[in-house]
Amino acid sequence: MAAGWRSCWPSRPARHDARATAWVRGRRNRSYAASAQFVAFVDGLLFDRLVGAGALSTPEPGTPDSAHAEPAARRWETMTAEIGYGRRTSRSYGAVMIDGPSAPDDRADWLVERGRVDEAITILEARARNGDWRDVDRLTDLLLENGRVEEAEARWRAAIEAGLPGAYGGLADMLADAGRTEEAIAAWRAALEAGEPHARSRLAALLAKTGRVDEAVAAYRTAIAAGDATAGVGLAKVHARADQMEEAVHAYRSAIGTKGVPRWPLGVLLEKLGRSDEAVAAYRSAVDAGEEHVRVRLLAAQGRLEEATQLVRDLLAEPGHNPSYRQLGWLLAEQRRFEEIEAEAARLSGNLVGLSYLLAGARQSANYHVDCPSGCTGSTRVVRHLPGRWDDVRRA
């Protein structure tokens, strides 16, 4: 097998486009269920696509045709009016006009997508005055994305003064994102004193992130003793980063059974310890509890790699599963099916995210490094079990 197919592979999955990230953040905790706002969003998205494709483009100023050019928005309105698409009215859903949705939340997003940030901020400010911490969070996110850090901080401090629940945590998150770690830690301590839910766990997570491991462990243990069982997950991650795997297993076991805590990561920790039979039992327990996606891990832990590979391929036949290419790459490399990896990589030439996951997974198999020439990205960490999110919990 030639080594050239490995030497030029990317080293990690591609990052999401910044604009796509902002789009997601602007819509978190909200649903575009069948509503007029969803229709308006689709209208706007279609408008953007048509502009991008040149279907609504106008000549550059000063060109011979520019005097007769019609603005893209007006051209869109004309087109949609002709086919009866641009205006919809529903007694249930309200009205959607051509200048965007009228509901404040959705209109703010619509304005941001068109670069009308100040107008969006005005809408969100009105919402934040009488809303909860989520409204302030949306406003401050938009301010931060546009470099208005001092205004964002002032909004959170005003919310604290007004006694808004969750405001200390919002300020702490903002300060941490801005790299002002000590101030963020102080804010989480204040949130703890104010009785904000899960403040101690969030403080512990930030302490761990900054390398203050002993303080983090103490904070997590205090949170667990106070009844926050989910803190066991964070404590397990701290121990795993320090290669204290027995302690990690014990901490994670303490969290299992708590609402929202999955069972399958316990199997990963047990596999790292080489306790395969216990790992299989943990995965089987997870599947029995309804964590159906864990079935592929169960098969891999039992050595049934061909069945696991087919299961991953079945999953990848549906959209939205790019991270699963990492598992496919590892499984194929573990079975030394390198020609299939090459074929899959060629097929994914138009899906760079999926391709990056595929190649990253293959490089985590020990078989990838056999006869690997110098400079062949040999620093990739080999894993002896199916890779996944918990394999990113490593030494800080």
Q: Is 23 helix (H, G, I), strand (E, B) or coil?
A: helix
Domain that holds residue 338: 323-370+378-391
User: What is the reported pLDDT for 39?
Assistant: 41
> Can you give the pLDDT at residue 109?
79
Alpha-carbon span 293 to 263, nearest angstrom: 12
Amino acid (one-letter) located at 47: F
- Give the Å distances, CA to CA, from 197 to 169, 188, 203, 260: 9, 11, 11, 15
* Token output for 92: 């249930």
Q: How high is the pLDDT of residue 40? A: 45
Whether 174 contacts 144, CB under 8 Å: yes
363 domain-assigned: yes
Does residue 331 fall inside a structural domain?
yes
Q: Does residue 358 lie within any of the structural domains?
A: yes
Q: What is the pLDDT of residue 54?
A: 54
pLDDT tens per residue across all 396 residues of the chain: 444 434 333 333 332 333 333 333 443 333 333 333 444 444 455 545 555 555 545 444 444 444 444 555 555 455 545 444 443 333 333 334 456 666 766 788 788 888 888 888 888 888 888 777 888 888 898 888 888 999 999 999 999 998 888 999 999 999 998 899 999 999 999 999 999 988 999 999 999 999 999 999 999 999 999 999 999 999 999 999 999 999 999 999 999 999 999 999 999 999 999 999 999 999 999 999 999 989 999 999 999 999 999 999 999 998 888 899 999 999 999 999 999 999 999 999 889 999 999 998 998 888 887 755 555 544 456 777 787 765 544 433
Strands 94-97 and 88-90, by their bridges, are: antiparallel
Q: How far is Cα 373 from Cα 2, in angstroms, rounded to an integer?
A: 10
Determine the pLDDT at residue 74.
56
The structural domain count of the chain equals 1
Kindly provide the b/e burial profile for residues 92-125, where b requires at least 16 CB atoms within 10 angstroms of the residue's own CB. Answer: ebeebebebbebebbbbbbbbbeeebeebbebbe
Answer whether residue 266 is part of any domain.
no
Q: How far apart are the two ends of the chain, measured CA to CA in Å?
A: 36
**84 class by beta-carbon count within 10 Å (0-12 exposed, 13-18 middle, 19+ buried):** exposed
DSSP SS3 for 320:
coil
CA angle, residues 302, 308, 311, in degrees to nearest 5: 145
Q: In this structure, is residue 352 part of a structural domain?
A: yes
In a domain, 315, yes or no: no
Closest CA to 373 of 36, 4, 26, 29: 4
Q: Would residue 343 count as lying in a domain? A: yes
Residue 386 lies in a domain: yes
Burial annotation 351-377 (CB, 10 A radius, 16+ → b, else e): eeebbbbbbbbbbbbeebbeeeeeebb
